[in-house]
Amino acid sequence: MVKKIAALTAALLLTTIGVAQAQTYPPGGNTVTANDSTVAPGDPITLSAQIFQSGATVTFTMFSAPVVLGTATANSSGVATLTTTIPAGTAAGTHTIEATGTGANGQPLTVSMTITVAGAGTGIPVTGSSNTLPMTQIALGVIVVGGLLVLAASKRRSSKADATDTVGV
């Protein structure tokens, strides 16, 4: 019985595992990413931009009023990464960060993303995860195992009860 429960549990857990999806290259949409999309003036931020020519100099600029945040050199995969600080005088609100350089095809390339700059003392720390799927799968697996154990225990109790009912006959 325990082997059947273990096999059923394994089968259920394997069916809830997500399938890897193929990704297209170049990736669609914005190709600039940040380690945090909501920052306060003076906070550090790490920016990455991709699809640049290997060895190209990539300039990161923040707009509303143009402010050059810095430059980085694209690695052999065409990814340029810059760790910088949001300028102290940056106004609260939505800002665009652009990365400009030479694309993988040798043509000028500009990619962008938006960030939110919070006012001083108004930023709320972000905790937790935006991806709850793995924990949901684990929770469902635990619920299934618990249900199977309850079912096995009730069958065992009913078979013992049947055996004690026939002892005196």
Buried b (16+ CB within 10 A) or exposed e, 140-157: eeeebbeebeeeeeeeee
Residue 84 contacts residue 69 (beta carbons within 8 Å)? yes
pLDDT reported for residue 18? 59
Q: Per residue of the chain (169 residues), what is the pLDDT tens digit?
A: 667 777 767 666 666 665 555 554 455 544 799 999 899 999 999 999 988 999 999 999 999 789 999 999 999 989 999 999 999 889 999 999 999 999 888 899 999 999 999 875 544 566 666 677 777 888 888 898 888 888 888 877 777 666 665 555 5
Q: What is the pTM of this model?
A: 0.55
Phi, psi of 92 (to 5 degrees): -65, 145
